Structure 1
């Protein structure tokens, strides 16, 4: 996958699920990262990232 495919996939996942309620995520200059929230809708999230996608 390239960066555009990753962004499109995340957007589709956002539309079909409650992704923002359970996870916090973002993009760096060459990667996508995601962390799990402590609980649904919580501002706090777990310290370790679930995964990083480099592109």
Structure 2
């Protein structure tokens, strides 16, 4: 997951993630930023096992 996730929400089986790193202040400071709302399919996320 990209850094600095600010908030998540779900609707109709989708997880929506908003990131603070999209703000100019954070992009300039850390050199990375997500300036979009990312969506993830919850069924896919929940059915995949975490491997380490």
TM-score by length of 1: 0.34
For the pair shown, which has the larger CA radius of gyration, 1 or 2?
A: 2
More strand, by proportion? 2
TM-score by length of 2: 0.35
